[in-house]
């Protein structure tokens, strides 16, 4: 049974928790908003430490939490603000590597006395010297945390290899966007017209414009689709350091691809698409994959990271980094409506196996209770 409330360690006042968020990841921000609402409904006091723009976007205060502005920085001023916010907490829960590292600094480094729960929503990506720095931060956080929650089995394994004392698989769901329209209310032709996909297939992908997303492979694959009639349009929603490089290549090679930047209507965009594409070299609990299955849109994804674990047989999986395999899978699906229909039905069944928001909150609260309840004397 889901607990209705959570007492303090002494059973005298509500449990006081602090959620620490860097503010740079949409999935973790949405998760913290959902978690805050569920915890507050169960009688837990919640303070969210995050940049002000994150509160504007996700309305943590509207969920009943207090919000403390803490910049996405590890400078002494930000760490001091975080330390002050955590001073009276019974438990602190940090989300993502950078937020977790700042929290470890704020709580006193290796001598963390306040229970610290860390959720790894994804793997940090970097190349060269920065990759070494990220590995150092991972080890520091994993060893300092009381419990590390990983959203996928590979992340749990990585936490254990990195030195976590206690690493567990987290039940994390994709919260339904506030104000999302019902499918029957979506003006699909209007959305497709806005994107320029009138009378042609629309292929959607979403994610930051970074190297690990595999957009170079996606652009390679589009060459094969140029021979189709009509030519499919690929739309990429997201921002990042590769925008200029990708745009130049699209223009130089005349590829049927549009970069539309960061959007807050991803569910609508996906629901209007014919196929969703996920060419990443690594993904944890992919938001795009979850949104696509919920929207009943066939998904073509690279077999990488935790994607196979997440989608099961409800997607067309291809080897990561293989542009030919990606192109061939898309061509097959565009010419096989029956295969698409089978994938969407499997997607509905697969999505039903994912944890609900209520189950996610219940699991987190059980961890909190375990770490804050007094231990019986032997």
Q: What is the pTM of this model?
A: 0.82
Contact criterion met (CB below 8 Å) for 326 and 301 = no
At residue 198, does pLDDT exceed 80? yes
Q: In the predicted model, what is the mean pLDDT of residues 195-222?
A: 95
Using one digit for the tens of pLDDT, what is the confidence trace for 142-162? 999 999 999 888 899 999 999
Among the residues of 146-242, which ranges form H helices? 153-162, 188-195, 215-225
Distance CA 120, CA 10 (A): 29
Core vs surface per residue 274-294: b (16+ CB within 10 A) or e: bbbbbbbbbbbbbbbbbbbbb
At residue 163, does pLDDT exceed 50? yes
Using one digit for the tens of pLDDT, what is the confidence trace for 77-114? 999 999 999 999 999 999 998 899 999 999 985 455 89
**What's the farthest any 2 CA atoms get from each other in the chain?**
75
Read off the tokens for 281.
């070299």
- Give the end-to-end CA distance of the chain in Å, rounded to a whole number: 28
Q: Identify the architecture of domain 183-351 in CATH.
A: 3-Layer(aba) Sandwich (3.40)
What integer pLDDT is reported at residue 4 of this predicted model?
Answer: 43
At residue 9, does pLDDT exceed 50? no
Q: In the predicted model, what is the mean pLDDT of residues 239-267?
A: 94
Return the CATH fold of 16-173+356-372: Rossmann fold (3.40.50)
What integer pLDDT is reported at residue 154 of this predicted model?
Answer: 87
Read off the tokens for 285.
């609990």
Among the residues of 42-128, which ranges form H helices? 52-58, 76-86, 97-107
Q: Residue 314: phi, psi to the nearest 5? A: -95, 15
Confidence of residue 132 (pLDDT cuts 50, 70, 90): confident
Handedness of CA 235, 238, 239, 245 (dihedral sign): negative
Q: Which residue has the higher pLDDT, 260 or 175?
A: 260
CA angle 75, 147, 289 (to 5 degrees): 85
What integer pLDDT is reported at residue 267 of this predicted model?
Answer: 87
Say if residue 56 is exposed, middle or buried (CB neighbours under 10 Å; 0-12, 13-18, 19+).
exposed
CATH 3.40.50.2000 residue ranges of the chain are 16-173+356-372, 183-351
Closest CA to 176 of 237, 263, 267: 267
**Residue with the two structure tokens 């929603």:** 237
């Amino acid at each position: 049974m889901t607990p209705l409330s959570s007492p303090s360690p002494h059973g005298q006042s509500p449990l006081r928790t602090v959620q620490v968020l860097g503010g740079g990841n949409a999935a973790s921000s949405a998760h913290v908003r959902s978690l805050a609402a569920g915890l507050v409904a169960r009688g837990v006091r919640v303070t969210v430490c995050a940049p002000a723009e994150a509160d504007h976007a996700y309305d943590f205060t509207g969920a009943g939490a207090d919000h403390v502005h803490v910049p996405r920085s590890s400078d002494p001023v930000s760490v001091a603000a975080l330390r002050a916010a955590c001073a009276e907490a019974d438990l602190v829960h940090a989300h993502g590597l950078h937020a977790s590292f700042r929290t470890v600094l704020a709580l006193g480094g290796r001598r963390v006395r306040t229970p610290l729960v860390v959720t790894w929503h994804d793997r940090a990506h970097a190349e060269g010297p920065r990759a070494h720095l990220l590995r150092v931060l991972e080890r520091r956080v994993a060893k300092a945390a009381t419990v590390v929650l990983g959203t996928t089995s590979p992340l749990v394994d990585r936490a254990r290899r990195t030195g976590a004392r206690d690493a567990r698989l987290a039940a994390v769901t994709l919260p339904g966007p506030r104000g999302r329209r019902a499918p029957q209310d979506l003006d699909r032709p209007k959305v497709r017209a806005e994107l320029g996909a009138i009378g042609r297939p629309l292929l959607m992908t979403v994610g930051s414009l970074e190297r690990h997303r595999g957009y170079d492979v996606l652009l390679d694959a589009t060459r094969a689709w140029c021979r189709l009639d009509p030519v499919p349009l690929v739309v990429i929603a997201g921002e990042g350091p590769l925008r200029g490089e990708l745009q130049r290549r699209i223009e130089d090679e005349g590829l049927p691809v549009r970069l539309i930047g960061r959007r807050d209507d991803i569910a609508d965009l996906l629901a209007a698409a014919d196929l969703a594409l996920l060419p990443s070299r690594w993904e944890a609990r992919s938001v795009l994959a979850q949104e696509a299955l919920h929207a009943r849109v066939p998904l073509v994804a690279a077999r990488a990271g935790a994607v196979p674990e997440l989608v099961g047989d409800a997607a067309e999986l291809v080897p990561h980094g293989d542009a030919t395999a990606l192109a061939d899978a898309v061509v097959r699906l565009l010419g096989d409506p029956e295969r698409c229909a089978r994938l969407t039905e499997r997607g509905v069944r697969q999505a039903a196996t994912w944890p609900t928001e209520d189950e996610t909150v219940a699991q987190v609260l059980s961890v909190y209770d375990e770490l804050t309840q007094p231990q019986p004397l032997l």
